[in-house]
Amino acid sequence: MMMCGGLNEPKAADPKIQAICEKVKPHVEQKAGKSFDVFTAKMYREQVVAGTNFFIKVHVGGEDHIHICVFKKLSCNPGEDLQLSGIQESKSHSDPIEYF
């Protein structure tokens, strides 16, 4: 059971998480200043706030990974439902997903 405000345990990415990654990929590339040929969600953690923060480990080619934070609004709030909150570059497969 997830505690409101806390991060849940890491889970393997599923098609829902990959779909979130695909939607925010252009924003990630703009923020990183580069394009990614590979953009595969591997693991994620969730934080329930006034919506949900998704902290996602994304494989971007070779041994390289990035961590992205995506905020998903509650469905009752108007506007775009997904917002890229931040990215962390130069991550490895073994780096833990932490709050940022």
pLDDT of residue 49: 85
pTM for this entry: 0.89
Domain count, the chain: 1
CATH number at residue 66: 3.10.450
Q: What is the pLDDT of residues 21-43, one digit of tens each?
A: 999 999 999 999 999 999 999 99
What domain range is 70 assigned to? 11-91
Q: How far is Cα 71 from Cα 80, in angstroms, rounded to an integer? A: 10
Q: For residue 58, is it within any domain?
A: yes
pLDDT band at 7 (very low <50, low <70, confident <90, very high): confident
- Given CA atoms 82, 88, 89, 95 in this order, what sign does their dihedral have? negative
Mean pLDDT of 7-18: 94
Q: For residue 3, is it within any domain?
A: no
Q: For residue 80, is it within any domain?
A: yes
- Given CA atoms 39, 41, 45, 51 in this order, what sign does their dihedral have? positive
Mean pLDDT of 83-91: 95
Q: What is the pLDDT of residues 39-64, one digit of tens each?
A: 999 999 999 888 899 999 999 999 99
